[in-house]
Amino acid sequence: MTKKSRFLHTPIEPFGVESGLGADQVLARMERISFQGRNLATAYRIWLKMLEDDVTIFLGMAGALSAGGLRLVVAHLIGQRYVDCLVSTGANLYHDLHETRGHRHFVGSPLADDAALAEDRIDRVYDTYADEEEFITNDIWIADFAATLEKRPYTTRECLYQLGHHLWESTGRDGILTSAYRANVPIFCPAIADSSIGMGLSQARQKTPGAGHIDIIGDIVESANMIIRRPRTASVVLGGGTPKNFINQASVQAEFYSAAVGGHRYALQIVTDVPHFGGASGSSLEEAQSWGKLATDSARVSVQADATIALPFLASALATTAPPLLARRKKPVFTLASRIMTIDGQTVPSDRFEEMNESAV
């Protein structure tokens, strides 16, 4: 027996084509192929482990996934409690609101004449089109909503809960915002100003002085307090961006005030960025351990793939196999209607951190 034989014990199994396989069965076979196919299969297994464990699962959503057709996948994950907290870019929430209000996105082409599109007031997101005039009606609708709120600071979590409520009452349609409202799942949007939701809030302030006041620092305190209350956490990230860092930052900030926090226990990310340019979106999960964002013994995997390819596979496989786990799952229970959120009956303030360890005093 040669020394190298200790490495050669699990053979690659060529993928055999067979009709009638479900997504879970396809992913099970992909565990024995290579590259991102195997990583995607590993991501599926890790997500199942999250659902089996007593952890709070954060979902980060960046890019243009709502405009790209994944909004109802995310709404399903929220409504069925595959995740417990969404951290999203404002654009994803805005494009979700756009369709929940009855508007559409349209199949387009990346080879379009953009000057001709501009003349017809059509906005392009790669191969997807939207009507600028419909966007303007959304902005006005958001401004009118914001003008009805109390003239005081709101965390994005509180503001978006109220927005989801108003959207549900207005439309009765499924979407990310309305599913989160109905399932009592908090949404944070740390870069809300960098979106058309932020533009709508600014228009509200133009109409009504004092309207549209968002407390983004309160988001940091509130998200960290969530983790202080429930220190065992997991992270699912689609596309990197601000949501990825905000989820990880919440864990680091919580650990500053509570010694019980030790980084996410599980983490999977589906990203197209790469680590060697130094950007946060492409940073590896191994790098995150150096910051204390992930536990050193965490179960983790990075899938280098487009989320519009990977997420439908994962969600379809989970829908087949995860329902028994969901039925037994000890998911956190939130109340979100008031200014102060609660989790499992414990208050989650947005104005101060709740616990201090001796080294932080």
Residue 219 sits at φ, ψ, to 5 deg, of -60, -40
Strand segments, DSSP code E, in 305-338 are 334-335
CA angle 208-210-212, nearest 5°?
85
Q: Of 286, 293, 279, 287, nearest to 247 (Cα)?
A: 293
Does the annotation mark 293 as catalytic? Answer: yes
The Cα–Cα gap between 79 and 331 comes to 12
Structure tokens at 175: 């979407």
Within its chain, how far is the Cα of 141 from the centroid? Answer: 24
Residue at 60: amino acid letter: G
Structure tokens at 127: 């191969």
Q: Are strands 264-271 and 56-61 parallel, antiparallel or unpaired?
A: unpaired
**Residue 43's CB: how many other CB atoms inside 10 A?**
27
Structure tokens at 278: 């130094």
Strand partners, 335: 342
Within its chain, how far is the Cα of 196 from the centroid? Answer: 18
**Residue 268's CB: how many other CB atoms inside 10 A?**
26
Q: Are strands 341-343 and 346-348 parallel, antiparallel or unpaired?
A: antiparallel
Options 4, 49, 293, 330, the catalytic residue: 293
Residue 55 burial (10 A CB sphere; 0-12, 13-18, 19+): buried
The Cα–Cα gap between 249 and 128 comes to 33
Residue 302 near residue 284, CB atoms below 8 Å? yes
Please count the residues of the chain.
Answer: 361
The Cα–Cα gap between 60 and 270 comes to 10
Catalytic residues: 293
